[in-house]
Amino acid sequence: MAEELKPVNEEDLKQLKERMNLIASADPAQYHNSYSLKRYLRAFHTVDNAFQAILKTNKWRVEYGVADLHNNKELIEKYSDKAKVLRHRDAIGRPIIYIPAKNYNSSDRNIDELTKFIVYCLEVASNKCFEEVVDNLCIVFDLNNFTLSCMDYQILKNLIWLLSRHYPERLGVCLIINAPTFFSGCWTVIKGWLDENTAGKVTFVSSEMDLCKYFIPDILPTDM
């Protein structure tokens, strides 16, 4: 259940730290800790690519107003039924984002607002990580009472983009529970958008016994 993390070349990490220290000395907002730098190196493979990706993320965070999203009470309340960062963690200590798919409808949402809410959830969950122990997340898609009208492909594309560009290697495992048979057609489409590494982190859980390998099922909300 605990994934084997790809090793990071120590010389690459040293070089990336040196580059980041140079810009962080002038602008502390550019700071990333060692765990973050390792995630970018794993995701983007080279020092140059990781450094450029970090700069793009930092620029995006400022322009998108990520640091202030927790103050947007109206947004958080409006979309509170779309996702929740649980108080409990999974079996190895990962924060859990629970997403009840039955509450989605692409014709009844503002895609920009909903994407901001998803970013807010990613921020809350990421900030709960005990990075020295485990620095990635467990995302649970609950397909109980799911119908095809709930299939919001655009928000899924946005989530995939966010995880790949601005939260690289934050996803530890993605659990899909209570999936109806017809969801296999949707999954064929979605899987085509994922790289091999990310697709390998997606697990369909078909029984409560299997779910217990990840966490106690009783921690899942019943009021969403």
Residues 119-171: tens digit of each pLDDT = 999 999 999 999 889 999 999 999 999 999 999 999 999 999 999 999 999 99
Among candidate residues 35, 64, 93, the one where a domain is terminated: 64
In one letter, which amino acid is 18?
Answer: E
- Domain match, 180 and 80 both: yes
- Domain match, 23 and 123 both: no
- CATH number of the CATH domain containing 190: 3.40.525.10
- Domain match, 43 and 133 both: no
- Domain match, 47 and 111 both: no
Question: Strand order in 95-100's β-sheet?
Answer: 84-89, 95-100, 137-142, 171-177, 202-205
- Domain match, 153 and 173 both: yes
What does the pLDDT average to over 82-98?
97
- Domain match, 74 and 181 both: yes
Contact 82, 60 (CB under 8 A): no
- Domain match, 43 and 108 both: no
- Which secondary-structure segment (H or E) carries 21? helix 10-26
- Domain match, 104 and 45 both: no
Rg (CA), the chain: 18
In one letter, which amino acid is 24?
Answer: A
For residue 2, pLDDT over 50 is answered with no
Tens digit of each residue's pLDDT (9 = 90 or more) over 30-60: 778 999 999 999 999 999 999 999 999 999 9
The answer to the question of residue 4 being in a domain is no
- Domain match, 139 and 154 both: yes
What does the pLDDT average to over 6-17?
91
- Domain match, 100 and 202 both: yes
Tens digit of each residue's pLDDT (9 = 90 or more) over 92-113: 999 999 999 999 998 889 999 9
Predicted TM-score (pTM) of the model is 0.94
- Domain match, 107 and 195 both: yes
Domain count, the chain: 2
| Residue 35 structural domain | 10-64
